[in-house]
Structures are given as structure tokens and as C-alpha cells.
Amino acid sequence: MATSVVVLRNPEVLWAQRSDKVYLTVALPDAKDISVKCEPQGKFSFSARGVQGESFDLGL
């Protein structure tokens, strides 16, 4: 039985904070299949594929 392994990588994230806001930059040039979710409870999630097909995933 063959098994496949999927390795998820974390993208580079830059952030800045103000008294009433938080700014996030996900540094992943030329990403494909991008999914971004910002939930009211303050949860942020990001997933995408890099230029070589590698999977990136982030949850804050």
C-alpha cells in the first residue's frame, strides 16, 4: 500500500499593529489557489500553493 506525505510550510508573515487595527502581509509571490479567511472572533487563516506546487498553510 502506497502512502503519500503532504508537507505544509508556513509562509513568511509581516505584521504591524495600531491601537485599533492589525495589518498582516503574507509574503508569497506568485501564489496559486489562495484561500484567506478572517473570522469575527479574530481568527485568520491562509492557505495557498507556491510556484513549485508546495503547500503553504497559516493559522493565527
Which one has a higher pLDDT value, 25 or 4?
25
The Cα-based distances of 19 to 10, 22, 23, 49 in angstroms read 27, 8, 11, 33
**CA gap 22, 9 in Å, rounded:** 23
Task: Spell out the residues 6+ positions from residue 7 whose beta carbon is closer than 8 angstroms to its own.
Answer: 54, 55
Q: Given this model, what pLDDT does residue 9 score?
A: 87
Given the C-alpha cell 498582516, which residue does it identify? 24
Condensed to tens digits (0 to 9), the pLDDT of residues 13-54 reads 999 999 999 999 999 999 999 999 999 998 999 999 999 999
Q: Given this model, what pLDDT does residue 3 score?
A: 74
